[in-house]
Chain A
Amino acid sequence: MMRVDRTEAWLLGAGLALALGALVLPSWLTFLLTIAFAKGLVVQGVVIQMRAGLVSFGQGLYYCIGGYTVGVGGQMVGVHDAFALLLLSMAAAAAVAMVLGLLLTRYREIFFAMLTLAFSMILYGILSKSQSLGSTDGFNVRAVTALGWAPGAGGKMFVYVLTCGCAAVAAVLLHRLSKSSVGHVCEAIRENEVRVEYLGVSPRWMLYATYVLAAATSALGGGLIGMATGHVDPEMAYWTTSGEFIFIALLGGISHVAAPFLAATLFSTVRTYAIQFVPHSWQMILGFVLLGIIIFLPKGLWSLFRRTKAEARA
């Protein structure tokens, strides 16, 4: 019997509570949360790599692959089942990551960052030149079904519940991973790769596995965003999109698996209200909030929870 620890119970409980929230929350808020949690999944991909000491500036690559797989699957291949589409997205991203990972895991630090950025910009370039895929305008994603059931008018609600479910399950699995020996080895690689090698573990293959896992997680988020917004375009692979993911990752911090979701929600909320109240300079508000968080909470939003926990113990 699997033992569910306290954090996992929290994560599953929160996922369930939020999914049930669909019944009471206004639909703009559920949509905001759908996007935030799906983005949170993409950010998980960034965070997994950060824990192992790698900063990906090109996570948009897998976000975009996830979105386009859902789009192409529905529009051109004729797959409409949400679960099949998400699995396809993850498989497509993992397949690409398995190839690119062979090259990328040979590099570290800024070289790794720049190469990941380069690959995502290559995809951006290819998609921008594909007129059959709508070039830079992108194309619309068909409504999805679930195991033969068509949600129809409740489609967005279904995607919200699906996103909550995916996010909760992914969070539990990633939490387990971070507490497992593999997770600890990744942290050790970040601290001192040479020493890990002396201990008889191959950091390169560890990083390779991490890279592929991160790709699949990000593609899951991309697929969900494609379903939620009903549109995909090459902007998803553009470097500013990847930059946003790093931003959210730093905002949340890498110490807890729930941090990216919380950070993505805060990011979306601040942004939408900034756009509403200061339409001409919303970027400045967003910038100040993020600057404030970086100055006062250098370890990310999650350090708020850490500190109070430590106080409670004392």
Chain B
Amino acid sequence: MNRLKSLFVPRRPVVAALALMAVALAAGSAQAAENGKFRVGIVTFLSGAAAGPFGVPSAHAAETVIDALNKGLLPAPYNTKGINGLEIEAVIIDENGGATKQVEEFRNLVERQKVDAVIGYISSGDCLAVSPVAEELKIPTVFYDCGTSRLFEENKAPKYSFRTGLDAVVDNVGAVRYLADTRPKMASIAGIQQNYAWGQDSWTDFVETTKKLRPEVKVVGEQFPKIFQGQYGAEISALSVAKPDVIHSSFWGGDMEALVLQGNARGLFDGRTLLLTCGESAMEHYKDQAPNGMVIGGRGPFGAFAPKNALSEWLRAAYSAKWNEQPVYPSFKIVQAILGLKAAVEKAAAAPGKQPDADKITAAFTSLTFESPSGTVKMARSTGHQAMQGIAYGEYYFEGGKATLKNVRSYKDTCVTPPEGVNGQDWIKSGMPGAKCD
């Protein structure tokens, strides 16, 4: 009896306190559900290397647009308040920390915080890991930035997963088309990429597309420094010796700015073209440190490449008024995801002020066409779950104290996107059949 008692009665005050704490935490979190608001989980990098260039501009843009939506300040067709009349409540979460943690936090968002939808994810690894969980928990999830082609290959029959950003294949097919059109004398290329999935895939896509569109071009060098290396002395020397006409890089963030700065100081870009697929994200930072004529992209018609329309003008004005700088492409991409969700929910809703269930939202989102600051977006690939848009590239010039884009060329969606059901890499290798560029 005594023995039994000692097993079941927590005599120790510490054990009792811990148990009480656990119960309190579990109970305290259940109250958030069903408060008459539309709760959206926003997951993006708030710390770590991707926070500065991507995460924070995304979070700022999300905050700006959600505030404005709740007040009904956006231009048509988004001039109604909130999402279907319900106030939007954002729950923001840091994406830093790896895929295991993101899966755990995604579950917490859905089950503890009771969000109605999740928008987020910059890292491709996080998208791959979260997508099956979104299907399991049946929660509409919009991936806004990650570019991996494997997202809808690993998740073959997506129901709750959507991606309003573009497949990374588009970046490099677009880049080669731009070079082919503007640099007809290009004879050799070289690349410098961060040594991880993004860099490896980008370089493969770029080289394979070049082989098809400009078979005479030689690959004279490739450098794979490790990510966040920051110092590129040896790589710059190697690239200088290789003497390529065009240097391609999928660098981003601090690495990208370091490469531009260090390469420019050493004359690496004299008489050569540097092409940065993510270059637009630092457009406000280069000033006169970047070579004029550097080709930059924004991973789609985003940021400085966005067309002039009421929504893009509103976003630029509202964002710069609040944060004192121009919105870059990640800002545009997250706004696109939020507006896509709003459009889908409102299409699914029976009446204003009512919240449709997850199945209705996903049915409405599938194959949806909606307006965004980047123009019209069609969810036209991967059985209506993947957005399809064109891409633009242009040359960076710093003139009169201001960064500008010149010689911008846009390529339409059908010119750079593989047909339905075709893997991007396979499409490139087979010579991009079915591409319509006019």
Q: Could you list which residues of chain A lie within 8 angstroms of chain B, going by C-beta atoms?
A: 9-10, 13, 25-29, 31-32, 35, 128-129, 131, 134-140, 153, 156, 225, 229-231, 233, 235-236, 241, 268-269, 271-273, 275-276, 279-280, 282-283, 304-305, 308-309, 312
Which of A10, A135, A233, A272 is B98 in contact with, Cβ under 8 Å?
A: A233
Contacts known (A29-B26, A276-B113); A134 close to B197, Cβ less than 8 A: yes
Apart from A136-B197, A235-B99, 12 more pairs, CB < 8 Å? A28-B108, A134-B128, A134-B197, A138-B125, A138-B128, A231-B125, A236-B100, A269-B25, A272-B104, A276-B91, A276-B93, A276-B112
B125–A233 contact, CB under 8 A? yes
Closest 3 CB pairs of A and B: A231-B129, A135-B197, A28-B111
A35–B26 contact, CB under 8 A? no
B409 adjacent to chain A (CB < 8 Å): no
B154–A139 contact, CB under 8 A? yes
B108–A231 contact, CB under 8 A? no
A305–B14 contact, CB under 8 A? yes
Chain B residues contacting A26 (CB-CB under 8 Å) are 26, 30, 111-112
CA distance in complex: A156, B112 (Å): 16
CA distance in complex: A304, B104 (Å): 29
A35–B100 contact, CB under 8 A? yes
B105 adjacent to chain A (CB < 8 Å): yes
A279–B108 contact, CB under 8 A? no
Q: Which of A153, A280, A309 has the most CB of B within 10 A?
A: A280
Which of B46, B110, B123, B197 is A279 in contact with, Cβ under 8 Å?
A: B46
Smallest Cβ-Cβ distance to A153: which chain B residue: B136
CA distance in complex: A140, B92 (Å): 25
Question: What 0/1 readout, one digit per residue, does chain B (103-124) give for beta carbons within 8 Å of chain A?
Answer: 1110110111100000000011
8 residue pairs from A and B, CB less than 8 Å apart: A26-B26, A136-B125, A139-B154, A140-B128, A153-B136, A231-B100, A235-B100, A312-B11
A279–B13 contact, CB under 8 A? no
Interface of chain B, main secondary structure: helix
* Residues 109-166 of B at the A interface (beta carbon under 8 Å): 110-113, 123-125, 128-129, 132-133, 136, 148, 150, 154
Chain B residues contacting A283 (CB-CB under 8 Å) are 47
B100–A225 contact, CB under 8 A? yes
CA distance in complex: A156, B136 (Å): 10
CA distance in complex: A260, B128 (Å): 30
Chain A residues contacting B129 (CB-CB under 8 Å) are 138, 140, 229-231, 233
Smallest Cβ-Cβ distance to B137: which chain A residue: A27
Chain B residues contacting A156 (CB-CB under 8 Å) are 136
B94 adjacent to chain A (CB < 8 Å): yes
Q: Could you list which residues of chain B lie within 8 angstroms of chain A, going by C-beta atoms?
A: 7, 11-15, 22, 25-26, 30, 46-47, 91-94, 98-101, 103-105, 107-108, 110-113, 123-125, 128-129, 132-133, 136, 148, 150, 154, 195-198, 200-201
In angstroms, how far is the closest chain B Cβ from the Cβ of A231? 3
Which of B101, B107, B132 is A140 in contact with, Cβ under 8 Å?
A: B132
Smallest Cβ-Cβ distance to A240: which chain B residue: B98
A275–B124 contact, CB under 8 A? no
In angstroms, how far is the closest chain B Cβ from the Cβ of A225? 6
Which of A139, A230, A275, A309 is B93 in contact with, Cβ under 8 Å?
A: A275
Contacts known (A131-B200, A139-B128, A275-B93); A31 close to B107, Cβ less than 8 A: yes
A279–B92 contact, CB under 8 A? yes
Which of B92, B132, B150 is A230 in contact with, Cβ under 8 Å?
A: B132
CA distance in complex: A229, B104 (Å): 8
CA distance in complex: A137, B201 (Å): 11
Contacts known (A26-B112, A305-B12, A308-B14); A9 close to B104, Cβ less than 8 A: no
B112–A137 contact, CB under 8 A? no
In angstroms, how far is the closest chain B Cβ from the Cβ of A26? 6
Interface of chain A, main secondary structure: helix
Chain A residues contacting B100 (CB-CB under 8 Å) are 35, 225, 229, 231, 235-236
Which of B22, B94, B112, B148 is A28 in contact with, Cβ under 8 Å?
A: B112
In angstroms, how far is the closest chain A Cβ from the Cβ of B172? 16
Smallest Cβ-Cβ distance to A272: which chain B residue: B108
Which of A13, A129, A229, A233 is B7 in contact with, Cβ under 8 Å?
A: A13
Which of B26, B99, B112, B132 is A233 in contact with, Cβ under 8 Å?
A: B99
Chain B residues contacting A268 (CB-CB under 8 Å) are 104
CA distance in complex: A31, B111 (Å): 11
Chain B residues contacting A279 (CB-CB under 8 Å) are 46, 92-94
A137–B125 contact, CB under 8 A? yes
Q: Which of B11, B100, B132, B196 has the most CB of A within 10 A?
A: B100
Chain B residues contacting A304 (CB-CB under 8 Å) are 14
Contacts known (A13-B7, A231-B103, A304-B14); A140 close to B154, Cβ less than 8 A: yes
B133–A230 contact, CB under 8 A? yes
Chain B residues contacting A282 (CB-CB under 8 Å) are 94
CA distance in complex: A250, B163 (Å): 42
A308–B13 contact, CB under 8 A? yes
CA distance in complex: A297, B104 (Å): 28
CA distance in complex: A268, B112 (Å): 15
CA distance in complex: A128, B224 (Å): 12
Chain B residues contacting A312 (CB-CB under 8 Å) are 11-12
Which of B105, B111, B154, B198 is A275 in contact with, Cβ under 8 Å?
A: B105
Chain B residues contacting A13 (CB-CB under 8 Å) are 7
Chain A residues contacting B99 (CB-CB under 8 Å) are 138, 229, 231, 233, 235
Chain B residues contacting A139 (CB-CB under 8 Å) are 128, 154
CA distance in complex: A136, B111 (Å): 29
CA distance in complex: A25, B15 (Å): 19
Chain A residues contacting B200 (CB-CB under 8 Å) are 131, 135
A273–B14 contact, CB under 8 A? no
Smallest Cβ-Cβ distance to B113: which chain A residue: A276
B113–A10 contact, CB under 8 A? no
CA distance in complex: A29, B26 (Å): 8
B197–A229 contact, CB under 8 A? no
CA distance in complex: A136, B228 (Å): 14
Chain A residues contacting B101 (CB-CB under 8 Å) are 271
Chain A residues contacting B30 (CB-CB under 8 Å) are 26
CA distance in complex: A277, B210 (Å): 48
In angstroms, how far is the closest chain A Cβ from the Cβ of B95? 10
A273–B132 contact, CB under 8 A? no
Contacts known (A9-B7, A230-B132, A282-B94); A273 close to B104, Cβ less than 8 A: no
A235–B98 contact, CB under 8 A? yes
CA distance in complex: A32, B112 (Å): 11
Which of A32, A137, A271 is B197 in contact with, Cβ under 8 Å?
A: A137
Chain A residues contacting B13 (CB-CB under 8 Å) are 308
